Every structure is written in structure tokens, then in C-alpha cells.
């Protein structure tokens, strides 16, 4: 559990960096699960003549070769459906290792200190594997691949969740440093929800944030950065020669709107009704694929609510 000092910092400054939250065995299992996933993707792409032979390439080498040839590993590795039109065969990844990461006791203990013991795993969640900036395509704009623009997490969900008690847990799989593009934050939450605009990404409207007060937040592998949904944050560019890997996970008080209610959520912890906790990763996986099947057959539901024609976006 968090200390009183840590809780106070979170509730006033809007963020908290905690080292050594996720056990190394869990991190290793996630790495292994994703390595196996990439091996399968790469073998298929090679059979199609899209990538060179993978002999001698490790996980990072295969990522680099795939990205350079235009093979998209992001969506097949993501733990969510995309925000745009959803195809019936849209790939996603849900496996036992990433599920174990989401429901890690020490992670949920920290979340419980902030929002209480009735915790739902929120469906606004993503993998972020960011190549070195020199490797990026000139037209790369995806926040999960390139640097992330300034935003508030309250601003990237539907307004139904504007009063939901929520916390974001940004989990470092590799060390996150200033050089390789760690997160940065403008401390404080007193300004409330700022206007956002559909810019390169959904971002805080121009002239509405003093980024001169930004503070970088390096954290080691296995560490976690916790965010209040109103704290402005962004990432730095990856100026190193290696990849930077993290997961965005969110949690909210059970029974409150998630901000993306058309995507599936589940009870990660409940002290009042422990029998409602999900413990089978296959049920989590199946819920997402059922959502894909349903949403592919219905009109598209935008995941953001901001209008580019708003005066603040001019």
C-alpha cells in the first residue's frame, strides 16, 4: 500500500513514480510471450516475402526489420481494439503473461490506496513499443509508436466518465530514461479538464498549457508511474539507439463509467465480492474478441469527443 505522503502527492501533484512494483518474473514472462508472438508474425511476413530471413535477429532486430518494411506489429501486439473502424479480423493480443501483469497484487495494492478496494480494469489500455526516433517513418503519427502529445487521460475518454474515480498505471518493461523518451508531466490538477483538439494526436489545445514547468519521470523496468486523470503529461522523443517499451493500464472504481463502455472491462479486485474477480485470462481474451465481432457489424463509435472546428482549436 502507498504511504500517506505518496497519496498526498498523487492527489495534489497528480502523479507518483514507484520503483520495483512488478516482479522480474512477471516482466520476463511478458517479454517471452511477446517474443513468441513476434516470432509467429515475422515468420508469416517472411513467407510472404515482406521481410528478410530472421536468422540471427533477436526480438529488437525483428521489430526494426518489420517496421522498416512497413509490417505493422503494433496492432497485433496491442491489448485493445483500435480507435478507428474495426474490421472483423482485427488482430489483438491477450495472453496469460499480460493478464498476470494487469492483476499483479502489488500494482492493485497501489491502485487501492488511491481509489479504494473495488477495482475494475478499464479498457483504455495499450502497449507502447517505441523505436528510436531516427527509425521512424516521416509520416508516423501513432502515439503508441512515436512521441505522445500533451494530454490528460480524462480527455481521451467519453464525457460519461468525467466524474469517474480513475488512475492510470504506466508500467515500464524496459528502463525509461530521458534519452529514450520517458514520460514528462506538468504537475498539478487544479485547472480541471482542459480543452483538447484532434491535432497530430488528441492533445491539449494550443495556448492552454505552460509546458515550461514540465518534469521528466524516468523509471526503471518493473517500476510504475501513476497518473491522476487530470494531470497533463506527454512523452519525450526516443533519442537513444534502442526501443522503449511500456504498457498503459487504467483502473477505475467498479460500477462507474469507463469512458469507453463499448469496450470490455472486468473486476480486477473486490473486497466486497471477491467471487466477482476475474482470474481466467481466456475470459478476458474472449470478451475482447466478442466485442470485435459485435463492433465490426455496427456503426463506428468514435473514442474521442473533441471537435476540430472548436474555436480553441484554431
Mean pLDDT for 130-149 is: 90
Cα–Cα dist 222/36, whole Å: 21
| Res 290 pLDDT > 90 | yes
Q: What pLDDT does 206 receive?
A: 84
Residue-range domain boundaries for the chain: 4-298
pLDDT band of residue 308 (cuts 50, 70, 90) is confident
In a 3-state reduction of DSSP, which class is residue 167?
strand
Task: Say if residue 314's pLDDT is above 80.
Answer: no
pLDDT, the chain, mean: 95
**According to the model, what pLDDT value does residue 1 have?**
85
pLDDT at 305: 87
Band (pLDDT 50/70/90 cuts) for residue 286 is very high
Q: How would residue 258 be classed by pLDDT, with cut points 50, 70 and 90?
A: very high
Alpha helical stretches, state H, the chain: 4-13, 24-47, 59-68, 74-77, 96-102, 105-115, 281-295
Handedness of CA 51, 57, 62, 67 (dihedral sign): negative
Q: How confident is the model at residue 11 (pLDDT cuts 50, 70, 90)?
A: very high
Encode pLDDT of 146-179 as tens digits: 889 999 999 999 999 999 999 999 999 999 999 9
Whether residue 267 has pLDDT greater than 90: yes
pLDDT of amino acid 303: 86
Residue pair 150/234 in contact (Cβ under 8 Å)? The answer is yes
pLDDT at residue 309, rounded to an integer: 83
How confident is the model at residue 57, as a pLDDT?
Answer: 96
What per-residue confidence (pLDDT) applies to 54? 86
Please tell me which residue, 207 or 236, carries the higher pLDDT value.
236
Determine how many CB atoms are found less than 10 A away from the CB of residue 275: 6
What does the pLDDT look like over 85-116, one tens digit per residue?
A: 999 999 999 999 999 999 999 999 999 999 99
Question: What integer pLDDT is reported at residue 60 of this predicted model?
Answer: 97
Which of helix, strand or coil describes residue 86?
Answer: coil
Residue 46 has pLDDT above 90, yes or no: yes
Superfamily of domain covering 4-298: q2cbj1_9rhob like domain (2.60.120.620)
Amino acid at each position: 500500500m502507498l504511504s500517506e505522503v505518496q497519496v498526498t502527492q498523487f492527489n495534489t501533484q497528480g502523479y507518483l513514480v514507484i520503483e520495483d512494483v512488478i516482479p522480474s518474473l512477471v516482466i520476463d514472462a511478458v517479454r517471452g510471450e511477446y517474443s513468441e508472438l513476434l516470432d509467429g508474425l515475422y515468420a508469416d511476413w517472411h513467407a510472404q516475402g515482406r521481410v528478410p530471413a530472421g536468422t540471427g535477429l533477436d526480438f529488437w532486430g525483428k521489430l526494426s526489420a518489420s517496421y522498416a518494411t512497413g509490417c505493422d506489429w503494433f496492432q497485433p501486439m496491442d491489448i485493445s481494439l483500435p480507435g478507428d473502424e474495426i474490421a472483423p479480423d482485427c488482430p489483438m493480443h491477450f495472453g496469460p503473461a499480460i493478464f498476470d501483469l494487469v492483476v499483479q497484487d502489488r500494482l492493485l495494492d497501489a491502485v487501492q490506496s488511491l481509489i479504494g478496494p473495488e477495482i475494475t480494469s478499464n479498457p483504455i489500455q495499450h502497449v507502447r513499443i517505441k523505436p528510436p526516433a531516427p527509425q521512424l517513418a516521416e509520416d508516423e503519427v501513432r502515439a503508441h509508436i512515436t512521441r505522445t502529445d500533451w494530454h490528460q487521460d480524462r480527455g481521451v475518454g467519453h464525457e460519461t466518465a468525467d466524474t469517474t474515480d480513475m488512475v492510470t498505471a504506466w508500467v515500464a518493461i524496459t528502463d525509461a530514461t530521458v534519452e529514450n523518451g520517458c514520460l514528462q508531466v506538468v504537475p498539478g490538477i487544479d485547472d480541471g479538464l482542459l480543452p483538447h483538439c484532434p491535432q497530430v494526436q488528441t492533445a491539449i489545445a494550443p495556448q492552454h498549457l505552460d509546458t515550461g514547468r514540465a518534469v521528466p519521470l524516468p523509471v526503471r523496468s518493473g517500476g510504475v508511474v501513476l497518473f491522476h486523470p487530470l494531470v497533463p503529461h506527454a512523452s519525450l522523443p526516443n533519442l537513444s539507439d534502442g526501443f522503449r517499451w511500456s504498457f498503459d493500464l487504467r483502473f477505475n472504481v467498479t460500477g462507474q463509467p469507463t469512458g469507453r463502455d463499448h469496450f470490455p472491462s472486468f473486476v480486477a479486485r473486490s473486497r466486497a465480492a471477491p467471487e466477482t474477480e476475474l482470474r481466467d485470462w481466456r475470459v478476458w481474451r474472449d470478451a475482447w474478441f466478442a466485442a470485435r465481432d459485435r463492433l465490426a457489424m455496427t456503426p463506428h463509435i468514435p473514442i474521442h469527443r473533441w471537435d476540430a472546428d472548436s474555436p480553441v482549436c484554431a
